[in-house]
Structure 1
Amino acid sequence: MDLAARIGAEAPAKSWGQARDAARDAGEPLPAVARELADALGHALAEPLVALTDLPPFDTSAMDGWAVAGPGPWRLGGTGVLAGGRPEPLAEGTAVSIATGAELPPGPIAVLRSEHGEVEKSARILFDRAPSPPAPGRDVRPRGQECRSGEPLLPAGTTVTPAVLGLAAAAGYDRLVVHRRPTVELLVLGDELLDSGLPRSGAVRDALSPLLPPLLRCGGDVIGRRRIADDFELLHDAIRHSPADVVVTTGSTAAGPVDFLHAALAETGARLLVDSVAVRPGHPMLLAELPPAADGRNRRLVGLPGNPLAAVAGTVTLALPLLRRLSGRPDAEPRRVAVSVELLGHPRSTRLLPVLLRENAVAPLPFDGPAMLRGLALADGLAVVPPGGLPVGSTVDVLEVPRP
């Protein structure tokens, strides 16, 4: 029995759910680091975000107009209050112009909107033309309306989005403590791949080099992509010396004449965690634990099939769940959708089927073979069809294919 067959015999194919669970359990979130706000985008919070101040930090005007004290009419006094300025106290029966977001004078103050006031310029008297008199607190954003100092705002594990950056800055943060994102190196294997032009002389275009890095960046930082020829020593050296936390390979996962991945992993001293998954397309995918790097970092390898749709299936099954785990983020949950057209399944394996979502029901797309991308290019997601298929009237999980 050759090496690939021996390894396969020792590690029977896992179900699709078991494979995803194995990917999620294949590591722990990477260590926490403190980053400047601008550098924290896309990372996961390593600790809860807690307000460092009240928001707003003081009573502010919600409108352009006048801050008024007591019932009108009011005598206008002082200079107007702009955002960032410090107001003087207002005596009863007086008013001062104020801008949206400006701090209000102390006391029981209301804001009279600019469209509701009329000024007698010669006497500097402000008259109220509002439908009802402004009661104290009207059009005022009171201190602490959004949160109080010390209040939890977001839990650990939250992905830092632009909105999270804005909230953190408003709440008083200059830096955020986040999990380091895993680094990823993509190794595209095969002598038959072309970088440009039309397929010719038995060679085909490399569809995976432009396809996979944007998907992988949804879970980690892609630090490199290399083309590796069908050569055992070249592949072994590339895996052994990769600086990445996660190495992702394409092709060479089966037992063909130039499929050297299993042998290279064995020579490297890797431990297989997943070797083949009962899923179509993409069943010859694998996940391995590599020997630690020289600096002690744990390393993993995800082996994707070489066919494009099968490689995407491997990405959503193994690569993204692993990368999200390492980055401290929860894995994406499928969307439960009604089945309005019978979904044909494989007799023994889960099927990942490109589908459109129409009025919360799935519509399967053609061109769903392992080497095809035409269906995926139109798809809203991949329906997770269990063995045997699903009848009309049932429901199906739809897994989103990340869009950067």
Structure 2
Amino acid sequence: MPLGQSIGHVLAEPLTALCDLPSFDTSAMDGWAVAGPGPWALQAGGSILAGRGESPPLEDGTAVRIATGARIPPEATAVIRAEHARTDAGQRLLYADRRVTPGQDIRPRGQECRSGDLLLPAAALVTPAALGLAAAAGYDELAVVPRPTVEILVLGDELLAAGLPYDGLIRDALGPMLGPWLDALGAETVATRWLGDDAGALYRAVTASGADLVLTTGGTAAGPVDHVHSVLRKAGAELLVDGVGVRPGHPMLLARLPARTEAGGEDSPAGHLVGLPGNPLAAVSGLLTLAEPLLRGLAGLPAPVPYRAPLRGEVRAHPYDTRLVPVVHRAGYLVPLHYNGPAMLRGIAAADGLAVVPPAGARHGEELEVLDLPWTPS
């Protein structure tokens, strides 16, 4: 992939230096290149500038102006910073105001790395700094793991794409939210489609999709218009997770879709389907616990390091399921937020993450595991 497009991907192979860094001895400062002990006779002929070829050797006892990043002339023994040197009245001799040591303010060839050195291991994230390092080391392209592609299918006849709710219709909150959220997880959202409660349309969309992951919203329970299970059976999918003991979000599911036969007769790799509940906060639960780990694996990203933090206050128990409760970090504690019902987004919109509350509930000071949101500062 071209260098500038690889940001946010992970390396598919180790990044090794294609050249020495720096590739020649360079000046670390604007000043004077000198040879031998001083005072030094000023060499005629102007300054040595960055981006120029090799200069003639510097004779012992002489000095020449040099710019930061310029190539050190052969036989030079040190660079004296401009602010640490002075010339005589006739501009013939250079004197140092401080002791000069051999090699000072010279970046020697290969100081940072030698050609062939390992710079970053495979699976390292391509950050802006990694991008700069790769460019400095001579790369124009990087071998990266491709972003997993996702197609979002929003289900529900009651959903509006715009405007205010009316006559039993409600605004769709998940369609606008899921694409950017998935992109923040390292995926590439290729399409967001609104299908309504139509089993035939859902079957055609699922079986025709070429995405690595199909993400559906709603339709995962057992209601009269919940078609996801029947469509998966008809498509020959393998159901891997069918409901989770968590609130909100318990009807979430994960399935492996069968490989599709392409026009040329070749089978495409099997994709996956994550079925999210239709309630917004319940959908977020499924997004964090099923979709995110799957996408991290497909993208080659490491799992986040789990951590725990103490709770401020109490969180009531669910009779038998784990609860996921929106929280913020305050002075070393997890503070539960209000508006944490399955259909609510007000709490999660202000949250840093979801606290994992066991079925027994949680008391003040108890340490709980936290599922951070993709944009939570580490």
Q: TM-score, normalised by structure 2?
A: 0.92
> What is the rounded CA distance, in whole Å, between the counterparts of 1:124 and 1:283 in structure 2?
84
> What is the rounded CA distance, in whole Å, between the counterparts of 1:390 and 1:53 in structure 2?
56
Aligned residue number for residue 244 of structure 2 = 277
Relative distance call for 1:345 and 1:101 in structure 2 (3 A) is: farther
> What is the rounded CA distance, in whole Å, between the counterparts of 1:342 and 1:61 in structure 2?
62
> What is the rounded CA distance, in whole Å, between the counterparts of 1:140 and 1:362 in structure 2?
51
Q: What residue ranges of structure 2 are gaps of 5+ in the alignment?
A: 262-266
Aligned residue number for residue 4 of structure 1 = none
Equivalent of 1:56, from 22, 26, 32?
A: 22
Equivalent of 2:72, from 87, 97, 104?
A: 104
User: Which AA in structure 2 matches 1:268?
Assistant: A
Equivalent of 1:311, from 254, 278, 283?
A: 283
> What is the rounded CA distance, in whole Å, between the counterparts of 1:110 and 1:256 in structure 2?
80
Aligned residue number for residue 142 of structure 1 = 108
Relative distance call for 1:306 and 1:133 in structure 2 (3 A) is: same
> What is the rounded CA distance, in whole Å, between the counterparts of 2:219 and 2:177 in structure 1?
18
Aligned residue number for residue 369 of structure 2 = 397
**DSSP 3-state at the match of 2:180:** helix
Alignment of 1:166-181 (within 5 A): 166-181=132-147
> What is the rounded CA distance, in whole Å, between the counterparts of 2:50 and 2:274 in structure 1?
53
> Cα distance, 1:339 vs. partner?
2.7
Question: How much is the aligned-residue C-alpha RMSD, in angstroms?
Answer: 1.8
Aligned residue number for residue 74 of structure 1 = 40
Equivalent of 2:258, from 280, 291, 297?
A: 291
**DSSP 3-state at the match of 2:142:** strand
User: Which AA in structure 1 matches 2:146?
Assistant: R
Q: TM-score, normalised by structure 1?
A: 0.87
User: Which AA in structure 2 matches 1:213?
Assistant: G
Relative distance call for 1:62 and 1:343 in structure 2 (3 A) is: farther
Q: Deviation string for 1:353-400 (max 9, x for gaps)?
A: 111112332111111111111111111112222332333333222222
Asked if structure 2 preserves the Cα contact closer than 8 Å seen for 1:246 and 1:302, the reply is yes
> Cα distance, 1:108 vs. partner?
5.5
Alignment of 1:82-101 (within 5 A): 82-85=49-52, 86-101=54-69
Q: What residue ranges of structure 1 are gaps of 5+ in the alignment?
A: 1-34
State which drifts further: 103-112 or 321-330. Answer: 103-112
> Cα distance, 1:292 vs. partner?
0.6
Asked if structure 2 preserves the Cα contact closer than 8 Å seen for 1:219 and 1:320, the reply is no
> What is the rounded CA distance, in whole Å, between the counterparts of 1:167 and 1:228 in structure 2?
46
Asked if structure 1 preserves the Cα contact closer than 8 Å seen for 2:28 and 2:68, the reply is yes
Q: Does 1:331 align with 2:303?
A: yes
> What is the rounded CA distance, in whole Å, between the counterparts of 1:174 and 1:395 in structure 2?
47
Aligned residue number for residue 325 of structure 2 = 353
Asked if structure 1 preserves the Cα contact closer than 8 Å seen for 2:33 and 2:76, the reply is no
> Cα distance, 1:107 vs. partner?
3.8
> What is the rounded CA distance, in whole Å, between the counterparts of 1:361 and 1:153 in structure 2?
38
Asked if structure 2 preserves the Cα contact closer than 8 Å seen for 1:252 and 1:259, the reply is yes
Asked if structure 2 preserves the Cα contact closer than 8 Å seen for 1:36 and 1:175, the reply is yes
Q: Does 1:369 align with 2:341?
A: yes
Asked if structure 1 preserves the Cα contact closer than 8 Å seen for 2:34 and 2:80, the reply is yes
> What is the rounded CA distance, in whole Å, between the counterparts of 2:358 and 2:111 in structure 1?
49
User: Which AA in structure 1 matches 2:311?
Assistant: V
Q: Does 1:45 align with 2:17?
A: no
Relative distance call for 1:336 and 1:113 in structure 2 (3 A) is: farther
> Cα distance, 1:121 vs. partner?
6.1
Q: Deviation string for 1:271-314 (max 9, x for gaps)?
A: 10001011111111000011112242221101011111111111
> What is the rounded CA distance, in whole Å, between the counterparts of 2:71 and 2:308 in structure 1?
48
> What is the rounded CA distance, in whole Å, between the counterparts of 1:338 and 1:71 in structure 2?
64
**DSSP 3-state at the match of 2:249:** coil
Asked if structure 1 preserves the Cα contact closer than 8 Å seen for 2:239 and 2:256, the reply is yes
Aligned residue number for residue 157 of structure 2 = 191
> What is the rounded CA distance, in whole Å, between the counterparts of 1:338 and 1:182 in structure 2?
35
> What is the rounded CA distance, in whole Å, between the counterparts of 2:275 and 2:322 in structure 1?
19
Equivalent of 2:88, from 99, 107, 120?
A: 120
Relative distance call for 1:340 and 1:105 in structure 2 (3 A) is: farther
Q: Deviation string for 1:227-252 (max 9, x for gaps)?
A: 01101111111111112111000000
Q: Deviation string for 1:149-202 (max 9, x for gaps)?
A: 222111111121222111111112121111122111000001111111111111
Relative distance call for 1:62 and 1:269 in structure 2 (3 A) is: same
> What is the rounded CA distance, in whole Å, between the counterparts of 2:20 and 2:229 in structure 1?
57
> What is the rounded CA distance, in whole Å, between the counterparts of 2:246 and 2:71 in structure 1?
61
Relative distance call for 1:386 and 1:156 in structure 2 (3 A) is: farther
> What is the rounded CA distance, in whole Å, between the counterparts of 1:369 and 1:269 in structure 2?
34
> Cα distance, 1:136 vs. partner?
1.4
Higher RCO (CA 8 Å, separation ≥ 6 residues)? 1
**DSSP 3-state at the match of 2:177:** helix
Asked if structure 1 preserves the Cα contact closer than 8 Å seen for 2:14 and 2:121, the reply is yes
Q: Deviation string for 1:37-57 (max 9, x for gaps)?
A: 122222211111112222222
How many aligned positions are there?
368
> What is the rounded CA distance, in whole Å, between the counterparts of 2:34 and 2:260 in structure 1?
67
> What is the rounded CA distance, in whole Å, between the counterparts of 2:84 and 2:118 in structure 1?
39
> Cα distance, 1:204 vs. partner?
0.8
Aligned residue number for residue 226 of structure 2 = 259
> What is the rounded CA distance, in whole Å, between the counterparts of 1:357 and 1:370 in structure 2?
22
Percent sequence identity over aligned pairs? 58
